Amino acid sequence: MLHAGVSATGTSRIAVTHLHGDHCLGFARVAARCRRTLPLRTRIPSGSGRCCRGTPIHCIPMTLLPVRPIATTKPLTRETEPSPLAGSAVTAKHSPVSWAAEGTLFAVDFSAATDEPVAPRVAFRLGDRPRDAYGAALAPDSGCVVVATQHEALCVDADGTVRWRIPFTQPAHSSIGLANCAFSRDGAHVWIFRPDAMLGRGDGGDRWLVVAAADGRMLAEHALPTVGQGAHQVAHPDGIHMLLDVGEGQDGVFLFHGRLDGDAISVRAYPWDDRCLIDVSPDGREFMTVGHGEEDAVFHAFPDGTELCRFAVDRFLTPAGPGEDGNTDDDEGEEPHIAWSGGYLDASTAVVTVAGETEDDEWTIPYVVDLSSGAIRGRLAAEPRLRGDGTWTTVDDQGQLTLWELG
């Protein structure tokens, strides 16, 4: 896709704690999707709405884009039962939507949706705590999930049977270090980030593993020069590469891409310590990052990382007009910033989310942007979970998912 050299800087999460500085924790991303959306033309609250010169600001008033609901689910709670077809694998064009709630990971297949609410295809009961299902990776055919913890990685079938288990060396001490896992696009391999450094294991670095999804055989292992608190992985559409970012909290974040090469992982490190991986484009030609300081969203060419287009937070802010309230004495809020969320709506369109908070509340505004022209097209009413095919899902307070498209 041609971006025509546009530099878009302009003329200038289910209740889970959002861990500032630890963007890469999988469940922190989910928490970000549960923030309230700021209504159109609502003033950024005092104290969280100043530009770099101290001028009171608005977020740009943009029209809500017209959207159309495609399908909805039944409310997804621990009591929700899967459909009678739960035992069969999904063979639809698109992978099922996964959603975690109350210690359960649901797989929802919207491909055969009707006017009736859709029941989940499979429900994986993974624990009694809400966080037990976060970080679990759903197989592309929804036949199993893989869960990686500080102590082990295991593959679980829908009936609770453990298909395989890989024990890890026990941590030397207690730490925040969180493991992460992801399936390759074809479901043949599972990629595992193991946070050895924070847990006092090994030679001081972390490990990136590839195992066979069918039986858990170790296929390759790579030593990483990181001390990660957590990680985020995105499978590339080519079915070969995996992208990984490793967050070190206040010390930054490091981004890699790798591919299985025989019995080794061929790894390339990107030359940044301040770019957080968000998404890969559906055609595989690009990927999106957000600054560790949440100051901008950048779209890069894959695999070399060349910057194609950038959206700074200032693009989405505008000074208050004459006669508007300029009182900004309350400094309890947080400056508007680019959230660690969003991604590709399709190959030429993305969502960039501006977020902030006041003393009393948090807010987000998901903006839809055109990557060829750099134009801001409008906004969505709620934080989307994007599928890359022009559709996305949202969730309401009852746990009901809705699948949407622009209309």
Q: How buried is 288 (Cβ within 10 angstroms: 0-12 exposed, 13-18 middle, 19+ buried)?
A: buried
In a domain, 20, yes or no: no
Look-up of token digits 């689910």: 73
pLDDT in tens, the chain (407 residues): 434 333 333 322 222 222 222 333 343 333 333 333 333 323 333 233 333 333 445 666 678 999 999 999 999 998 898 986 544 444 445 678 999 988 899 999 998 777 899 999 999 999 877 777 777 999 999 999 999 999 999 999 988 999 999 999 999 998 889 999 999 999 999 999 999 999 999 888 999 999 999 999 999 999 999 999 999 999 999 999 999 999 999 999 999 999 999 999 999 999 999 999 999 999 999 999 999 999 999 999 999 999 999 999 999 987 655 555 443 344 555 789 999 999 999 999 999 999 998 888 899 999 999 999 999 999 999 999 999 999 999 999 999 999 999 99
Q: Of 374, 222, 350, 334, which Cα lies nearest the Cα of 280?
A: 350
Q: What's the pLDDT score for residue 35?
A: 31
Residue 286: CATH number of its domain:
2.130.10.10
Residue 16 lies in a domain: no
CA of residue 369 relative to chain centroid, distance: 18
Domain span holding position 154 = 26-406
Residue 32 contacts residue 341 (beta carbons within 8 Å):
yes
CA distance 344 to 367: 12
pLDDT at 128: 78
Residue 194 lies in a domain: yes
Q: 144-148 and 137-138 as β-strands: parallel, antiparallel, unpaired?
A: antiparallel
What DSSP string runs through 95-151? PPEEEEETTEEEEE--TT--SSPBPPSEEEE--SSGGGGTT-EE-TTSSEEEEE-SS
Instruction: Decide: pTM greater than 0.75.
Output: yes
Pairing of strands 144-148, 286-291: unpaired
In sequence order, the β-bridge partners of residue 167 are: 152
Residue 3 lies inside a defined structural domain of this protein: no
The angle subtended at Cα 191 by Cα 190 and Cα 192, nearest 5°, is: 115
* Overall number of domains in the chain: 1
Contact yes or no for 346/388 (Cβ under 8 A): yes
Residue 18 resides in a domain? no
Neighbours of 19 (CB within 10 A): 17
Please report whether residue 152 resides in a domain.
Answer: yes
Task: Determine the pLDDT at residue 50.
Answer: 31
Give the pLDDT score at 111.
85
Length of the chain in terms of residues written: 407
**174: which residues sit within 8 A by CB, 6+ positions away?**
none
Residue 13 in any domain: the answer is no
Q: Are 282 and 346 in contact (CB under 8 A)?
A: yes
pLDDT of res. 313: 95
Tokens representing 174?
């207690």
Residue from 116, 119, 52, 136 nearest 85 by CA: 119
Domain-embedded: residue 364: yes
- Predicted local distance difference test score (pLDDT) of residue 395: 94
Rounded distance between C-alpha atoms, residue 286 and residue 297, angstroms = 13
Q: Which residues are CB-neighbours of 165 under 8 A, at least 6 positions away?
A: 152, 153, 154, 155, 216
Give 350's strand partners: 344, 369
Q: DSSP letter at 4?
A: T
